[in-house]
Amino acid sequence: MIKVVIVDDHDVVRFGIRRLLEDVQELEVIGECCNGEQAVQVAKTEKVDVFLMDIQMPGLGGVEATKIISELNVDAKIIVISGLNDDPLAISMLKSGARGYLSKGASVEEMVKAIREVVNNGRYISDEIAQKIAKSSLNENIENSNPFDLISEREMQIAMMIFQCKKVSEIADKLCLSPKTVNSYRYRMFEKLKIENDVELTLLAVKHKIIDVQNLAQD
């Protein structure tokens, strides 16, 4: 049996994925985690074959959790499960040790295929984002470097919420941080990117194709 743990901060998502997998005879969902901290603890105490890992979660996010679990030298493989097919944090997940990437809309057949592939020491990236990954910041050419590679996972989470016009108080509530801490991350990010405000942040993100102008206009 392939032992699977689902990591996502939304109850309905965990329930949906569990329901999809529980009829697959070769798989056993042995646990659920609502954040990265819980996933790390499970990796330390349980024999897990595959973590299905969300990216953006309160507390320890998917990128850092993936990095820590990969450094534990356990046999667990990690597959990214994201609601955004072009989420820039997905690249960080793959760099941190994730073995695959799936969208939350993936069929059970594709999910099982990805799990089998990574358990056999392969990699699996869904077709819909494979081309984007190939053209992404995995390319280490300095001339094509992306300034957003300089910022941390938490800073990127906050940036993505700024692009969605979230207020500091809303970001703080979502990430379980104080507004003061959120602003500290913002100003640190501005310093790294050599910008001064949210408008310049958004323009820089458009320039480097972190966000799409058309989607931004629709939002």
Is residue 199 within a helix (H) or strand (E), and if so which, with residue range? helix 198-207
Residue 186's pLDDT is 93
Is residue 64 within a helix (H) or strand (E), and if so which, with residue range? helix 62-71
Q: Consecutive sets of 10 residues in the chain, 219 residues long: mean pLDDT of each?
A: 95 92 93 94 95 88 89 88 68 82 87 93 79 53 66 87 89 90 93 90 83 54
Cβ atoms < 10 Å from Cβ of 176: 11
Residue 2's pLDDT is 95
Name the pTM for this structure: 0.67
Cβ atoms < 10 Å from Cβ of 90: 24
Q: Which domains does the chain have, with CATH numbers?
A: 2-134 (3.40.50.2300), 146-218 (1.10.10.10)
CB 176 within 8 A of CB 158: no
Residue 87's pLDDT is 57
DSSP string, 105-158: T--HHHHHHHHHHHHTT--EE-HHHHHHHHTSTT---GGG--GGGGS-HHHHHH
- The C-alpha atoms of residue 171 and residue 177 are separated, in whole angstroms, by 8
Residue 43's pLDDT is 95
- The C-alpha atoms of residue 71 and residue 17 are separated, in whole angstroms, by 26
